[in-house]
Structures are given as structure tokens and as C-alpha cells.
Structure 1
Amino acid sequence: MKKDKPNDLNKVAASIMAESTGEGEKGEAPTKNESATETERLGGLKGGKARAKKLTALQQRKIAIKAAHAKWKKNNPK
């Protein structure tokens, strides 16, 4: 696939500068801390359920209506 050329002059200048200084090359991906990743995952898994328990029926209804409007607006652009 062909790469798109950036239209912004500042982006073009920054990319030229990065290529000329060698900063444009991508190095190794940073490693992730396994214990931190697992802790974050566990928090994310129980977060939605804990939030749902704290919400009243009226709050849940408002959230559901807002989600439905967003869904239908996305699928039916006018």
C-alpha cells in the first residue's frame, strides 16, 4: 500500500528532520511490566460490574437511552 503524504508543512519538516538525524527509525518496543498489566486487567474486568451496582435504575435508563441514540445516529446519518 502506498503511504499518504502529510499535508501539514510542520509534519513534513518534522519527518525530514527525523529522517536526517536518524530519529525516524523505530527501535524496540518498550517492555510491559507483567504484574502491572495483570492488575490493570483485573481492575478493568470488575470495573463495569461495580459501577452498575452503584447506579440507580433511573441512571441506568439514562445511560441506555444515550447509548441507543448514539448507535442509531451512527447507523442512520442524515
Structure 2
Amino acid sequence: MIGKIATGEIEDEREELSSAAAQLGSLGGKKRAENMAPERRREIAQAAAAKRWSKKPEGS
């Protein structure tokens, strides 16, 4: 089927459900941040930054 779609023999008739689900999922983080106290958002951001900077670069 993939080969036929690639060569144009048939049309891809699948529904794009995954992209709609991904769009809804991205709203959750924004809504969560809106409802969270600024102090808590800061704590989470600082913990994430510390985790990022504590990792050793690849090849080192």
C-alpha cells in the first residue's frame, strides 16, 4: 500500500487523527501553567534547567 501511495496508484485515505490528538495535548501544558502559582512554575523551570546543565555533552 505504501508503494502504491508513493507511486500515485492510489490515494492515501487515512484520517489524520494523530495530528488532532497532538494539538489537543499541547493545550494541556499551557492550561496547567495558567493554573499554577508563579512560584511553582519557577521551581519547575529551575529544576529543568539544572537537569539540562548537569548532563555531560556527548563525546566528552
TM-score (norm 2): 0.56
Q: Which amino acid aligns with 1:36?
A: L
Counterpart selection for 2:44 from 56, 60, 63? 63
% identical equivalent positions = 31
Which 4+ runs in 1 deviate beyond 4 A? none
Asked which structure has the greater CA Rg, the reply is: 1
Is there any run of 5+ residues in structure 1 with no aligned partner, and where? 1-27
Tell me the C-alpha RMSD between the 2 structures.
2.3
Q: Which runs of 5+ in 2 are unaligned?
A: 3-13
* Residue aligned with 1:41, SS: helix
> With structure 1 as the length reference, what TM-score do the two structures score?
0.45
Query: Aligned-pair distance for 1:64?
Result: 0.9
- 1:54 equivalent to 2:35? Answer yes
- The aligned length equals 45
